[in-house]
C-alpha cells in the first residue's frame, strides 16, 4: 500500500475534526500547520500538545504546528484542508484568499449546505476562490468520529474529487494503517450525503428521546437514506455513492453513535429541552441544525420530497411538537418502497 509522506499541508480549523486530521497527518510524517481561531486553544496546543476545548484527554503529535495567521498557515503549503463549520466557511475563505496560491490543492472536511444560497461547500469555494481548479477540489467524507480517529481506531472514509487520478493521489496522502481512504469521483453525492445525514441524525435522536425504540430508529435511518439519495441523484450524484461510506456509512454512525452531536441535539429535544437551551450549552457545532433549514429549502427548490427533513425543520424552526411530527410521518399517504 502506497502511503505518501512529506507533504506541506495546512489544516484550517482546530475544532475536534480539524485537530484530529491535523494530528493524523503530522504523526504520519507530513509538515502540518494548524490554523487556530481561539487564542486559548492555540496556546494549549502550542504549550501542552492538547486541545481540551474541542478534543479533551488526547495528547497531540509534537510535530504539529499551531498558528494564528493565515499568512503563516498557508506559507509554502501544497495542500489545504478546510475544516471549519459550514456557516462560517465563506468568511474564512475570503480571509484566506490573499494567501492562496494558484495550484494549491484543496480538500474540505466540512459537512453542510450554506443557508440562503443552498450551495455545497465546493460551490462556495468556487465563488470565493475563483482562480482555483475546481476539477481538483476534493472532499473527505464518511463515518469518522474525531475522537476515534485521533486514538487510531480503525476508520474508513472516502475522498471524492471530479479528477479521478487526483482522488487516488489524495488517498496516499491521507491513508495510514488505521485510516483507510477510498477514492471516488462523485463529489456531489459525497457532499450531500455528508450534509444531510446530520439532519436525519437529529430525527433519530428525537425518536430515541421519545423512547420509541429500535424499530423506529431503523425506519428513520432507512427512509432517511432514501430521501438523501433522491435529492442527491436529482442533483447529479451516483446513487451508489449513497450506499457507501459517504452515505449509508456516515448516516448509520451519526444516527446511532453516542459521540454524535446531532443525535444528541435530537435526543434532548425528544426529552423536552429547547433548541436554544441545547445549543447554548454546546461548545461544538451540530451542523444538522443549520443544514435542516437549507436542506428543506433545497428540496422545495428542486422539487424533491424530503419528509423526514421537513419534519426535523418544523420541529427546530416552527416549534412543532415532536410526537406530532412522528404522527404526521407515520400517517402520510402510503407509497411503494422502491421507485423505478
Model pLDDT for residues 199-220, shown as the tens digit of each residue: 999 999 999 999 999 999 999 9
Q: What is the pLDDT of residue 42?
A: 98
Look up residue 95 and give its three cell numbers. 480571509
Catalytic residue of the set 197, 290, 301, 320: 197
Q: Quick one: 8-185 is in which CATH superfamily?
A: NAD(P)-binding Rossmann-like Domain (3.40.50.720)
Give the confidence band of 291 by pLDDT, cuts at 50, 70, 90: very high
* Pairing label, strands 155-160, 138-141: antiparallel
Q: What is the dihedral of CA 103, 139, 85, 104, to 10 degrees?
A: -10
The SS3 of residue 171 is helix
For residue 140, give the DSSP letter.
Answer: E
For residue 136, give the DSSP letter.
Answer: G
Question: What would the mean pLDDT of 216-227 be, rounded to a whole number?
Answer: 97
Is residue 197 annotated as part of the catalytic site, yes or no?
Answer: yes
CATH number of 195-330: 1.10.1040.10
**Which residues are bridge partners to 113 per DSSP?**
120
CB atoms closer than 10 angstroms to residue 53:
17
* 282 has pLDDT over 80: no
What residues contact residue 181 under an 8 Å CB cut-off, 6+ apart? Answer: 140, 156, 157, 158, 159, 170, 171, 174, 175
Give pLDDT tens digits for 45-84: 999 999 999 999 999 999 999 999 999 999 999 999 999 9
How many residues appear in the chain? 340
The SS3 of residue 200 is helix
Q: What is the pLDDT of residue 2?
A: 59
110 and 121 in contact (C-beta within 8 Å)? yes
132 and 97 in contact (C-beta within 8 Å)? no
CB atoms closer than 10 angstroms to residue 71:
11
* 1 has pLDDT over 60: no
CA distances from 102 to 20, 89, 158, 281, 289 (A): 27, 19, 25, 41, 34
Look up residue 19 and give its three cell numbers. 485537530
Question: What would the mean pLDDT of 239-263 be, rounded to a whole number?
Answer: 96
Mean pLDDT of the chain: 95
User: In the chain, pLDDT over 90 holds for what percent of residues?
Assistant: 91
Q: What is the pLDDT of residue 340?
A: 63
Q: Residue 126: is it exposed, middle or buried by C-beta count within 10 angstroms (0-12/13-18/19+)?
A: middle
CA pair distance 295, 115, nearest whole angstrom:
9
* Domain boundaries along the sequence of the chain: 8-185, 195-330
- φ/ψ region of 309 (left if φ > 0, alpha if ψ in -120 to 50, else beta) reads alpha
Stated pTM of the model: 0.94
Give the confidence band of 133 by pLDDT, cuts at 50, 70, 90: confident
* 98 has pLDDT over 90: yes
Amino acid at each position: 500500500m502506497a502511503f505518501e509522506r512529506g507533504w506541506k499541508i495546512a489544516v484550517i480549523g482546530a475544532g475536534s475534526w480539524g485537530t484530529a486530521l491535523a494530528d493524523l497527518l503530522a504523526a504520519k510524517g507530513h509538515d502540518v500547520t494548524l490554523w487556530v481561531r481561539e487564542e486559548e486553544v492555540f496556546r494549549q496546543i502550542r504549550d501542552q500538545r492538547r486541545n481540551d476545548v474541542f478534543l479533551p484527554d488526547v495528547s497531540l503529535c509534537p510535530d504539529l504546528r499551531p498558528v494564528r495567521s493565515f499568512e503563516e498557515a498557508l506559507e509554502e503549503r501544497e495542500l489545504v484542508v478546510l475544516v471549519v463549520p459550514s456557516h462560517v466557511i465563506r468568511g474564512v475563505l475570503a480571509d484566506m484568499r490573499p494567501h492562496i496560491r494558484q495550484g494549491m490543492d484543496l480538500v474540505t472536511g466540512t459537512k453542510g449546505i450554506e443557508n440562503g444560497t443552498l450551495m455545497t461547500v465546493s460551490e462556495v469555494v468556487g465563488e470565493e476562490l475563483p482562480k482555483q481548479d475546481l476539477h481538483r477540489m476534493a472532499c473527505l467524507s464518511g463515518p469518522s468520529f474525531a475522537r476515534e480517529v485521533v486514538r487510531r481506531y480503525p476508520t474508513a472514509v472516502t475522498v471524492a474529487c471530479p479528477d479521478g487520478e487526483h482522488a487516488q493521489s489524495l488517498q496516499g496522502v491521507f491513508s495510514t494503517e488505521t485510516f483507510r481512504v477510498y477514492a471516488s469521483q462523485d463529489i456531489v453525492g459525497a457532499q450531500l450525503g455528508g450534509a444531510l445525514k446530520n439532519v436525519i441524525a437529529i430525527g433519530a435522536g428525537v425518536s430515541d428521546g421519545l423512547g420509541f425504540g429500535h424499530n423506529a430508529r431503523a425506519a428513520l435511518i432507512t427512509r432517511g437514506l432514501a430521501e438523501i439519495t433522491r435529492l442527491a441523484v436529482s442533483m447529479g450524484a451516483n446513487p451508489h455513492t449513497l450506499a457507501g461510506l459517504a452515505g449509508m456509512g456516515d448516516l448509520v454512525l451519526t444516527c446511532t453513535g453516542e459521540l454524535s452531536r446531532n443525535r444528541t441535539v435530537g435526543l434532548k429535544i425528544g426529552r423536552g429541552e429547547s433548541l436554544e437551551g441545547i445549543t447554548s450549552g454546546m461548545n461544538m457545532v451540530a451542523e444538522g441544525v443549520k443544514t435542516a433549514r437549507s436542506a428543506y429549502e433545497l428540496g422545495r427548490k428542486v422539487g424533491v420530497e424530503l419528509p423526514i427533513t421537513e419534519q426535523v425543520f418544523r420541529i427546530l424552526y416552527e416549534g412543532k411538537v415532536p410526537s406530532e411530527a412522528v404522527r404526521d410521518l407515520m400517517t402520510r399517504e402510503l407509497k411503494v418502497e422502491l421507485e423505478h
